[in-house]
Chains A and B, each alone.
Chain A
Amino acid sequence: MKLFDIISTASTNTFRSKLRTILTILAIFIGAFTLTLTTGLGKGISHYIDDQLGSLGAEDVLLIMPTTDNGFSSPNDPPKTYDATKKTQNIESEGNRTIALMTEADLEKFRKIDGIESVTAYRQAAMDYVSGPNNQKLVGNLNLLLDGEKHATEVGQMPTNDSDVPQMMIPSNYAKALGFTDAGASVNQQITIGLTNGRGDAVTLAIANVGVSQKSILTSGFIYVNQAAMNKLVTLQNQGAPDSVSKYFQVATARLKSELPASKLTQVKADLKKLGFDGMTVQDQIGVIKTVINGIIAVLNGFAIIALLAAGFGIINTLLMSVQERTKEIGLMKAMGMNSGKIFLLFSFEAVILGFWGSFLGVMFAVATGFGINQILMNGLLKDLSGLQPLSFTLQSVAPIVAIVMGLAFAAGTLPAIRASRQDPINSLRYE
């Protein structure tokens, strides 16, 4: 029998017992549908993270800090109002960056590490509040914009370290809270930052706001200022403080030697660790978040795969019944000279066809559902998270699902197919 005839015969046979076939396909459909949605979700989220964080800094820059940074809070929460009595607590709870220090001596040690090209240190001021036209005092997370760091803006531009003019950028949800009519209205306006100086006095500095950053889960509440602004803020903060204070830096970045191999990078990080510091590339910062998300997606995928395995048993069951029903037919075909290998193929293809239809329809339906969900979420719940498309599908991500399910179906079909191919024509023909 020719291959084409085997496939077309298998295809006809598959739909001989319609209800049974449809139920089996439905089981596969559910598994493939779920798997497509969960992988789509994983892809959607990881795309988003890459987009949002991928631009956080140049790839060959290592951020050196004595403590870990953890910038998580919901972008949908309104900024909190500054409360003077809770100043220190505010800094601790809101300032996710604990102010830890490094000295010139530390920097010297960093410079000696093999693989580090140059080290730049920054002083960082701790902000008490930010306030605008309505004089509301809001807490926030003051950040120095590092060289090479990029953020998507909603309006305006990012502050730049090339400028000697102090510049800042507020997050999207701060514009209205500070008293501007909208984000656009806050651009090129002066915004006041309040801090406490070395004598314990409240001081303020007005800085030009050059842009508004896009809403993002990852940098929510982050107010970015350029080097010029930070220098002024630091000077203000250090007024009246002992001279020793000005010797300290809060953050340092190290530019790595170009084309540094991964093993070398690991060594650099280990060397920093020995000195009591953490070195993190942008990739590391993304990596932590991605690992968590990948873990969650893996669990979801696991459920989908369990559904598919159950469907696999459905295929075995269906085909065993079909072999049983067609015992005489198999015997007849063998009597008429069909060899065992082709009988095996005939039933295997039947399994693969079940797998194909189940997964193809499941994937198609999942993609359609995914687009629907995207539309609903992007116009509703996730409206303000620009750039987040929760479910992402590509041919490359979806085609393997069909292929995997067909492979699984083939595997499930082997048991019934072997049983069919081993049948003795005489016993089959005597079978009542």
Chain B
Amino acid sequence: MHQASRTLIQADHISKTYGRGTNAFTALSEVSLGVHEGETIAIVGKSGSGKSTLMHILALLDSPTAGVLSVNGKLASDMSSRDLARLRNQTFGFVFQQFFLNASSSVLDNVMLPLKIAGMGRRQRKQRALEVLEQVDLADKAKANAGDLSGGQKQRVVIARALVNDPKIIFADEPTGNLDSATGQLVENLLFRLNSERGITLVIVTHDADLARRCNRQVFIKDGQIATPVRRVTI
């Protein structure tokens, strides 16, 4: 349904080596991957295989030691740190496994954070944050302390925060890893609904086979390399 659409991110022969000399460890080697507008990609593999590393590089959070990365046709290496920051702020949304919520501030404040960073005015960002909280069914918890929520609620807050800037792509690292299967299902449904209703591209790191299967395609990573050719699944 989203075939042949525009390439958002193109990674060519990406390698990532941590450390130097005898301590050097190659977490990724020669990985090439394209992320197309509107698709859903699952990055799967064993623990330590390099999934998170790949996602971080695709999301411009980390830079590869070798290889070329371009976003919207522009080379990442040509972008200034300011451009990178703006791109992350306006085009990307992040969902991390450990939530990374500020436990002592309100749900609303947490969701507003990307807007605050973007420099949006107080009233506007409050309104926008309430809108997305509505979408994840948490409007009634807006004033609650983020630390007081249940795991599933927290993950929905994180998704709301990822959504609030109206991103083109959401990167999710083990979005259901910390949740029981029922709540995990809920969060999964929410993410896929965003994809089908609003065309938001999803890049999901997971070792949950069911979740991987729901994606348009799966990228298998083994010891830092793509294990099998990219396989397209039509849903």
Contacts and interface: CB of A to CB of B under 8 A. Distances in A.
A16 B147 CA distance: 14
Contacts of B104: 16
Interface stretch (B37-45, B111-119, B208-216, B227-235): B111-119
A336 B56 contact: no
Interface stretch (B87-95, B131-139, B196-204, B218-226): B87-95
Interface residues of A, number: 22
B94 A335 contact: yes
Contacts, number: 56
A5 B81 contact: no
A328 B118 contact: no
Interface in A369-419: none
Given A332-B100, A339-B81, A340-B81, A426 B117 contact: no
A286 interface: no
Contacts of B12: none
Given A339-B85, A340-B81, A333 B56 contact: no
Q: Is the interface of B mostly helix, strand, loop or mixed?
A: helix
A337 B89 contact: yes
A150 to B, nearest CB: 63
Given A2-B119, A426-B56, A333 B86 contact: no
Given A328-B100, A425-B61, A426-B56, A337 B86 contact: yes
A1 B96 CA distance: 22
A425 B92 CA distance: 15
B188 interface: no
B148 interface: no
Contacts of A12: 105
B82 interface: yes
Contact of A336 (B81, B105, B114): B114
B62 A333 contact: no
A51 interface: no
Interface string A1-28: 1100100010010001000000000000
Contacts of B87: 337
Contact of B61 (A328, A333, A335): A335
B93 to A, nearest CB: 9
Given A340-B81, A429-B96, A333 B88 contact: no
B5 interface: no
B98 to A, nearest CB: 8
Given A1-B117, A337-B118, A339-B81, A329 B102 contact: yes
Contacts of B82: 339
Given A337-B88, A337-B90, A426-B61, A5 B116 contact: yes
B61 A336 contact: no
A338 interface: yes
Contacts of B116: 1-2, 5, 9
A339 B84 CA distance: 9
Given A16-B104, A329-B102, A425-B61, A336 B88 contact: yes
Contacts of B88: 335-337
A12 B104 CA distance: 11
Interface in A314-364: 328-329, 331-340, 342
- Which of A2, A9, A334, A337 has most B Cβ within 10 Å? A337
Contact of B62 (A336, A339, A426): A426
Contacts of B114: 336-337
B47 to A, nearest CB: 14
B113 A333 contact: yes
Nearest to B161: A336
Nearest to A432: B98
B89 A336 contact: yes
Contacts of A333: 113, 117
24 contacts: A1-B116, A2-B116, A2-B119, A5-B119, A16-B104, A328-B98, A328-B100, A331-B100, A332-B96, A333-B113, A334-B85, A335-B59, A335-B61, A335-B88, A336-B113, A336-B114, A337-B88, A338-B117, A339-B82, A339-B85, A342-B117, A429-B61, A429-B96, A429-B100
Given A426-B56, A429-B61, 7 more contacts: A1-B119, A16-B104, A334-B85, A336-B94, A337-B90, A339-B82, A429-B100
